Structure 1
Amino acid sequence: MYSNASFFVYLFSSALLFAGINRFLKYRLTYLVSFSVIALIGWAHVFRGQFFIPIAVFLCFYVVTYLKDKKYLKTWQAVSLTLLPLVLVKLHLNNHWGMIGLSFMTFRAIDVLLYRKKEEAKSFITYFCYLFLPFVILAGPMYRWNTWVKDIRKPTFTMTTELFLQAMQQIFYGIVQKFLFAMLIDHYVISHWRHHDFTLTVGIVMSVAYSFYLYFDFAGYSNMAMGAGRLFGLNIPQNFNFPLLAKNPQDFWRRFHISLSEWLRDVIFMPVYMHLLRFAFFRNNKTCAQNIGIFCTLFCMGAWNGLERHYVISGILFGLISVSHNMLLWTAKRQPLLEQWLKYPVVSLCGRFLTLASAAVSLYIFSGMSPL
């Protein structure tokens, strides 16, 4: 969608039309009405020719949410049923459910199950727009339900010149990242080196090149989504914050794909960690509980894309790297000499390098272009 020039024409036209009509009506045009139209247009554009699939998925999600609200289903049952289409597709057991944006639609549907308040339960249109909002339907960022509700409940939205220019600037940054830097890396490095027989040199070049390609491609997409959202008054979250500056593996995931990392922390890490603390062993060994929660979270970061070998291995590496760092911190707290040694500038610099190197290798494996 964001690679199609006509999309931007429709986007800017609809944003200006939205602002113009709203001003003419003295700002009485509600967000819900506007986004209902936008979501339907986005649906028609993205899913043209296969309408029955998103209709079926949406109805399944909505029915599960309704049954959970009526207490016919427990939360874990509702979440499991919502995940079922995605799991079947990832296992290649039923590709009829496969469609663009299914993963992030599923995550948003789960976010509704976990965080929607009772007074919001009957809002069919709000739920529909949230699931099918065109800006984030394909690949995120992970726009949370509570943020969405807060945005659309604002009494008025005024398109100012400053806001328009900020949105355009962010979209321009995204275009440069995705269609200049990412395309150049793909064309001149990845497409050339990926056909070479694997050697250490090929592995290093491809690890670095793919990591930069993935960053610029996804950060560009995210910036365009955020800028597009701003044109309509939506606060779509930031997804990247200079991951090259990461000090350690934990800091890396606070900077890389931020919205999904935070969502997985809330949905996987915290429930796993809190559940383990119910047992006496883990209450006395909280670091062990942390490590299990960290590993499960980062394993899911890689494996939710699919259960192919490269996704599973990359997820395992994501988890092992972060668990190793957490154990290093745990050991340093009990060894003053080690803690002091880790604070030396040279050691800190080596830690930054190892963080980026391990992330690059993991992302290269994640790409499916490595021999693993």
Structure 2
Amino acid sequence: MIPYSSFYFFFILGILLIPIIVLGYKEKRSIIYYSFVHLVILLLVFVSDIHQLLSFIVYIVWQSILVQWYVSYRKEKNESYVFYIAILLSIMPLFVTKMLPLFELTNLIGFLGISYLTFKSVQMLIDLRDGALKTLALKEQLAFLLFFPTISSGPIDRFKRFKKDMETIPTKEEYRLLLYQGINKIFLGFLYKFIIAYVINDRVIETPFIQGHTPLATFIYMYAYSLYLFFDFAGYSAFAIGVSYMMGIKTPENFNLPFISRNIKDFWNRWHMSLSFWFRDYVYMRFVLFMTKKKWIKNRYAVSYMGYFLLFLLMGIWHGIALHYIVYGLYHAALIISFDYFERKNKQLQFWKKNKITAIISIIITFHAVCFGFLIFSGRLF
């Protein structure tokens, strides 16, 4: 069962959350019951497919052994090659999962949420390498990996932030606010996912005319699909964040009015924020620092642009090893680089003044550029 996809799921979840809400009002938290709820939900998600369930269990065991071994190793040594091997081993299950469809092989090792769990595991390894994490107990690692509200599609949390929430029990007043915000998020999720996204998909995208692939149909499809993608994914994120709040965990936001972005950089600070910030911090920034340290390329703009191409290429491949995903990633890399060049020239020449008119024009241009990117992403063009 896919989380948040049916009222049956919400019914079971609602019953399971009642004791957590009661304990929250009493400024208490039961780790035993907390673990029980996670076990029930995870079984509910995976029990219908024995292959996914076994793959999930093997994956968790694999990542647990790998990360805990690196924790022990890091206490004594910090060799770069060992770190890179650990990263490759952590990514390997996801890589194999993405590659199997290319060879038309049955995917027996993939499962719902493998991408997001890999982000968490890689994040922990990098933080251990950098010294941001001095130690990491197995129970802390499992609590972070198995946090069910975000396990299938994020948002991608950070371990240190998550750990702080787990170790802090909200006061009655704090929990009342979290509960209120969580319920509002869940109602917003219903509005987005089950009403707006459903109507767009059923009444526009799935109609015979739009499926006809004429130029006009494709033009309408581009905007309809973009809106559908936002409301469907933002609805899911609202569910995940809302349930997290009800459990006393302040999972980060994933969307912040992305379609009013004034430029493409602003868009990626508003769209799927937990993913874009993860790639920014753990891919782009690390690449730029590495290249700056090595001094192989002295032009800092060239290094930055290479970093953008690497970032968005990986982001495209993360969605799948298909041509339209790769082109989607490269398209956004080109947009980011073009805007960066435009922004630098504008600082020198001041030809694009900042006022209400240029702000509106910027929003319109960015919206259309983003929608065309989603058309590429949809696979309808090729």
Q: TM over 0.5: same fold? A: yes
Q: Give the stretch that moved more between structures: 184-193 or 274-283.
A: 274-283
Compute the TM-score of the two structures, normalised by the length of structure 1.
0.90
Q: Distance in 1 between matches of 2:282 and 2:45?
A: 28
AA at the equivalent of 1:367: S
Change (3 A) 1:220 1:153: same
Match of 1:11 in 2: 13
Instruction: Choose from 159, 163, 177 the match for 2:192.
Output: 177
1:88 Cα offset (Å)? 0.8
Equivalence for 2:34: 35
What secondary structure, in the 3-state scheme, does the structure 2 residue paired with 1:139 have? Answer: coil
Is the 8 Å Cα contact of residues 198 and 371 (structure 1) preserved in structure 2?
no
- SS at 2:253's partner residue? coil
Aligned-partner Cα distance in 2 for 1:63–1:3: 32
- SS across alignment from 1:255: coil
User: Residue 206 of structure 1 aligns with which residue?
Assistant: 221
CA distance in 1, matches of 2:24, 2:252: 25
Q: Give the whole-Å Cα distance in 2 for the aligned partners of 1:361 and 1:269.
A: 24
Worse-matched range after superposition: 298-307 or 175-184: 298-307
Corresponding residue for 2:116? 104
The residue type paired with residue 253 of structure 1 is W
Q: Residues 11 and 228 of structure 1 are in contact (CA less than 8 Å); yes or no, is this contact kept in structure 2?
A: no
> How far apart, CA to CA, are the structure 2 residues paired with 1:355 and 1:194?
24
1:289 aligns with 2:318: no
Report the Cα distance in structure 2 between the residues aligned to 1:243 and 1:22, rounded to whole angstroms. 33
1:267-286 pair list within 5 angstroms: 267-280=282-295, 282-283=297-298, 285-286=299-300
| Aligned equivalents of 2:230, 2:176: Cα separation in 1 | 30
Name the amino acid aligned to 1:309: L
Unaligned runs of 5+ in 2: 75-80
2:276 to 236, 261, 265: 261
Task: Give the equivalent residue in structure 2 for 1:80.
Answer: 88
SS for the counterpart of 2:352 is helix
Kindly provide the amino acid, as one letter, of the partner of residue 58 in structure 1: I
Deviations 1:265-317 (A, max 9, x none): 0111101111121244644x211111111222222222201111111111111
What is the aligned partner in structure 1 of residue 77 from structure 2? none
- Structure 1 unaligned regions, length at least 5: none
- Give, in whole Å, the separation in 2 of the partners of 1:160 and 1:349: 40
SS of 2:320's partner is coil
1:195 counterpart = 2:194: no
User: Percent same amino acid among aligned pairs?
Assistant: 26
> How far apart, CA to CA, are the structure 1 residues paired with 2:138 and 2:149?
20
Q: CA deviation at 1:44?
A: 0.7
Do 2:210 and 2:220's aligned partners in 1 also have CA atoms closer than 8 Å? no
Listed one character per residue, the Cα deviations across residues 318-365 of structure 1 (whole Å, up to 9, x for unaligned) are: 11111111111122334x2xx233546544433322211111011111
Is 1:371–2:381 an aligned residue pair? yes
Aligned partner (choices 158, 167, 191) of residue 144 of structure 1? 158
The residue that corresponds to 1:229 in the other structure is 244
- d(CA) in 2 for partners of 1:223 and 1:271? 30
1:20-169 matched pairs, under 5 angstroms: 20-21=22-23, 27=27, 29-30=29-30, 32-48=31-47, 49-50=49-50, 51-71=53-73, 74-92=82-100, 95-116=107-128, 120-121=135-136, 123-155=137-169, 158=172, 160-169=175-184
| Letter of the 1:333 counterpart | K
Q: CA separation of 1:234/1:7 partners in 2, compared to 1, >3 Å: closer, same or farther?
A: same
Q: Is the 8 A contact 1:42 1:133 kept in 2?
A: no
Please, what is the CA RMSD of the aligned residues? 2.2
Q: CA deviation at 1:108?
A: 1.0
- Distance in structure 1 (CA, Å) of the matches to 2:33 and 2:341: 50
Distance 1:160 1:263 in 2: 28
Give the TM-score normalised by structure 2: 0.88
- Count of residues in correspondence between the two structures: 362
Distance 1:19 1:345, change over 3 A: closer
Find the partner of 1:357 among 364, 368, 380.
Answer: 368
Give the conservation status (yes or no) of the 8 Å contact 1:42–1:132: no
Amino acid in the other structure paired with 2:110: G
Report how far residue 194 of structure 1 moved. 4.2
For 2:156, what is the secondary structure of its paired residue?
A: coil
Work out the CA distance in 1 between the residues paired with 2:188 and 2:355. Answer: 37
Find the residue that maps to 1:278 and give its secondary structure.
helix
